[in-house]
């Protein structure tokens, strides 16, 4: 469903898609998806570590966050805050944060002082110790402990 902003203020938005530490491929993918879905971008804000897109459709923003995580790996965090009330109904604004990862499958990284190979990137990151062969699942919130060589 295409969400029109007809009859709404030109700066109207329901969601903020925050892209952090991402490649140009991710930004291009987001642009394509937004264009394909014909979702209105109210504002684009470039910051040092990424880009913020102010979008007219919060359901689209949530779905796009999931697509980004599935396609590129990385961390997606969705938060909602009460924006106001209209006709007795609570209106929420959604923030979808997508944080990219600086490595890809089969890269060699350091984790807990040991060399590991990145095996899979999905709901979490699976690393395999190069010496012992032991596999470890690392949550995205602990991604900062993984060092790219």
Q: What is the pLDDT of residues 7-48, one digit of tens each?
A: 567 788 999 999 998 989 999 999 999 999 999 899 999 999
* pLDDT score for 1: 42
- Is 10 inside a domain boundary? no
- Looking at the whole model, is its pTM more than 0.85? no
Q: What is the mean pLDDT of each run of 10 residues along the chain (149 residues)?
A: 55 92 92 94 92 94 93 90 84 92 89 92 89 92 85
92/118 same-domain check:
no
How many domains does the chain divide into? Answer: 2
* pLDDT score for 6: 53
d(CA 78, CA 97): 6
Angle at the Cα of 30 from the Cα atoms of 62 and 149, rounded to 5 degrees: 100
Boundaries of domain holding 78: 15-99
């Amino acid at each position: 469903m295409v969400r029109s902003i007809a009859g709404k203020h030109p700066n109207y938005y329901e969601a903020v898609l925050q892209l952090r530490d991402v490649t140009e491929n991710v930004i291009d993918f987001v642009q394509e998806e937004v264009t394909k879905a014909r979702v209105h971008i109210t504002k684009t804000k470039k910051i040092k570590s990424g880009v913020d897109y102010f979008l007219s459709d919060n359901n689209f923003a949530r779905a796009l966050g999931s697509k980004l995580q599935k396609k590129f790996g990385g961390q997606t965090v969705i938060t909602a805050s009460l924006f106001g009330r209209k006709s007795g109904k609570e209106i929420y604004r959604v923030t979808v944060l997508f944080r990219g990862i600086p490595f890809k499958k089969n890269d060699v990284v350091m984790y807990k002082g040991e060399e590991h190979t990145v095996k899979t990137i999905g709901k979490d990151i699976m690393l395999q110790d190069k010496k012992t062969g032991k596999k470890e699942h690392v949550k995205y919130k602990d991604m900062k402990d993984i060092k790219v060589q």
